[in-house]
Each structure stands twice: as structure tokens, then as C-alpha cells.
Amino acid sequence: MAVPTQEQVLEALGTVNDPELNKDLVSLGMIKELRVDGGQVSVTVELTTPACPLKNLIKEDVEKAVRAVPGVEDVQIQMTARVRGAKAPAVELPGIKNIIAIGAGKGGVGKSTVAVLTAVGLARAGAKVGLLDADIYGPSIPKMLGIEDQQPFLVGENTIAPVEGPAGVKVISMGLLVDPGRPIIWRGPMIHNVLQQFLQQVEWGELDYLVIDLPPGTGDVPLSLAQSIPITGAVVVCTPQDVALADAVRALKMYQKLGVSILGIVENMSYFVCPNCTTRHEIFGHGGAERAAKELAVPFLGGIPINIHIRVAGDAGTPLTIYDQTDEATRLAVTEFVETLAGQVSRRNATEPAPQALGTQDDGPACGGHGH
């Protein structure tokens, strides 16, 4: 009986592609350990994110390829993950691998809800995550995470320790620094200074993802961030109505003009499933975001339904219950969105140049940018 060699098994693994990255696992450096002992093979596959949407498919493909090698009797596969960042990490934020901006063309589309779902979902999958609430005028993140009674504290003279939220998400927000209900009446330069403090004077530590909840519209904050830090990519949140889509398209084109890659569009409040009869109702229409994404040649990240548990969890500050206590359809929709987004980040890092802050580009702020 033929005895397989390590070279034969490695050659077989070289035929297995990561479907997101369209390259084989060997050339991607995802095979971290391979042992061949007679007919017994054990292999460790290191994914590019713990929230990999195709984890099971990759595992099945690996097992199929290895079992096809003559003499292989048994295959043991261990799936691990290490989030990868840009090829040239940011000098300004050396411990942060990826920065994801969550934005919208208008208010009322559930942008902060999507930011919370993103951060908690990635952390729940096993990633190290931070959440920066850049919606200075209307900070809602602390309440949605159930941490509004906590406060950051100083570490040394000029460094702030963020508050820890559900699933270990590190959080900073103006809502943690001012009295509840107090209006914030600031001009653009003051907001810019606060954002710089949130980015560079907060002890973020090592993060796989920093999620930034932007204010709605196309004002000072997105511009300040694009000029200051290398954003991995932006997610545009919209609802199905035509007027919301029009605003979302404007926001998307703004990011492209600023040179920020588009990770995708997500359609929030996409549909409603009656809990009693399971009939699906498309209250605001449906599919507009997916069509817009196709027309603009950007990824569609999925649709998140209207669901009373999402609203209740946001008011109560219990986002983890969305993942383990709500109905299966909602759980799947939210999880698929988070996993698809994580996959887009991995693809972006594998196929595109390292992101640059706008202020470091030779073309200056008047350049046309690039869309993806």
C-alpha cells in the first residue's frame, strides 16, 4: 500500500482555493502545520478572520483534497484564524490592523445599530475589536452597549483607557464623557481635535478591527478621518426606499472621492417577518440596495430585517442577545452580514495596496480618488 509523503499532501493542498481571495491556501500562507504519519494526516489551516463566511466550505475542500492522495487513511483538520491587516501598517496606529468606517447618507437608517452589530459580531467570533463612536453630536453607542454609566479613565498623563463593552469590545464615545442629555455645540475644528484624541490618545492596544460609527451625511467627520488615518474601507448603510438610496449613493461617492475603498452596502430594515405566520413583508420595498451595489460595482453585504428584538436589545444595551436569543432567520441575516463584511476586509487586504490617509497622497484633496 502506498504511503503518502508530506510533499504529496502539500501539493494536494495547493489545489484548494480560498473562495474569497481566489488563491490557493499554500501560496496564501494559510497552511500552518502539516504532519504525515503513515496514512494519518493532520493539518492546521489559518484563516484570515475568525468570522470567515466560508470556513466550513474550506474545511470540506481541504479534507476532500487530502483524502484523494493515495495512501491517506484519516485526516484531522484544525481551523484557526489570524486577522491580517494592510501590507504597510499605519504608523499613527501601529496596533490596529484594520479600520472599518460605518457611514450613511442620511440619519434614521440604523447606522449605529449596524456599527454595534458589526463590532459585537466580530468580537463574538473571536476577533479583538474596538468601537469608536465618532457621531459626536448624537452619541448613542454607550446606551446600545449598556455601558452608559461607565467612564473612561486616564492611564498616565495623556492616555485614556477605553470602556469595555459586551464581548470585550473596547469603546470610546463622547456619550461616556458628558452628562446625559447635554447638547454638544461644537464647530468642525473642535470635532477634529476630539477625533484625533480618540484615535491617538486612547489605549486601544492590539486590535484586529477598529469600527468607527460616523455621523450621517457628508460633513466634516468623514473628511477629517480620511485626511488623518488610513481607513481599510467604508460600509454604507441604507434602507430600501428610493430617497434613502439616493442619499446612500452620494455618501458612497464621497468616500470614493476621498480615496476610501468601499467594503460594501448593507440594506437595513430590509424586510419584516411576521412572528406569528412567518409571512415576509417588504414594508419599505426591497432589493434597492443590492441593485445600487450592482450598478456601482461595489459589494452587497446583505439585508438586515426589521425585528423587534433588535430594537429591544438596542434600548436595553444587550446586543449579544441578538445572536443567541432572537429568531433563527434574524440571527442568520445578522451573522451573514458580519461574516461577509469580514470576508471583504480580507479580500481588500490581499488584493489592494495599503490604504493611505488622504493627507499623505501626492495628489492632495482634489484628486478623484478611486472606487472599488
**One-letter identity of residue 257:** K
Q: Do 340 and 195 share a structural domain?
A: yes
Residue 86 within a domain: no
Q: Which residue range is the domain that position 211 belongs to?
A: 99-360
Domain endpoint, select from 38, 55, 81:
81
Q: Is residue 136 part of a domain?
A: yes
- Which segment, 17-31, 59-73, 102-116, 166-180, is predicted with the most confidence on average? 59-73
What is d(CA 321, CA 87) in angstroms, rounded to the nearest whole number?
36
Kindly state whether residues 230 and 324 are assigned to the same domain. Answer: yes
Report pLDDT for 182: 60
The C-alpha angle 33, 84, 113, rounded to 5 degrees, equals 125
Mean pLDDT of the chain: 84
Lowest mean pLDDT segment, chosen from 20-24, 29-33, 153-157, 364-368: 364-368
Number of domains making up the chain: 2
d(CA 236, CA 298): 11
253 & 161 share domain: yes
Residue 19 has pLDDT above 70, yes or no: yes
Give residues with Cβ within 8 angstroms of 203, minimum separation 6. Answer: 155, 159, 160, 161, 162
pLDDT band of residue 91 (cuts 50, 70, 90) is low
Closest CA to 211 of 290, 116, 113: 116
Q: Mind listing the pLDDT tens digit for each residue in 33-65? A: 999 999 999 999 999 999 998 999 999 999 999
Residues 113 and 228 in one domain: yes
- CA–CA separation, 234 and 257 (whole Å): 12
Q: Are residues 73 and 105 in the same domain?
A: no
Please tell me the predicted confidence (pLDDT) of residue 127.
97
Say if residue 124 is in the same domain as residue 47: no
Q: Output the CA angle 84-49-326, nearest 5 degrees.
A: 145
- Report the CATH number at residue 187: 3.40.50.300
Enter the C-alpha cell of residue 60: 470540506
Q: State the cell numbers at 206.
A: 492590539
Q: Is 181 in the same domain as 255?
A: yes
Cα 215–chain centre separation: 17
Provide the pLDDT for residue 180: 64
pLDDT at 104: 85
Residue scoring higher pLDDT (90 or 315): 315
Query: Do residues 303 and 329 both lie within one domain?
Result: yes
Residues 6+ apart with CB under 8 A from 179: none
Are residues 136 and 232 both part of a single domain? yes
Which residue, 37, 55, 81, sits at the end of a domain? 81
Is there a contact between 346 and 48 (Cβ–Cβ < 8 Å)? Answer: yes
161 membership: H or E segment, kind and range: strand 159-161
Instruction: Name the band, by pLDDT with cuts 50, 70 and 90, for residue 350.
Output: confident
Residues 303 and 253 in one domain: yes
> What is the DSSP-derived secondary structure letter of residue 366?
T
Q: What is the per-residue pLDDT for 45?
A: 96
Residue 370 in domain: no
The one-letter amino acid at 226:
A
Shared domain check, 160 and 76: no
- Asked if residue 61 and residue 108 are part of one domain, the reply reads no
Least confident of 73-77, 122-126, 366-370: 366-370
Q: Do 125 and 52 meet the contact criterion of CB atoms below 8 Å apart?
A: no
- Coil vs helix vs strand at 149: coil
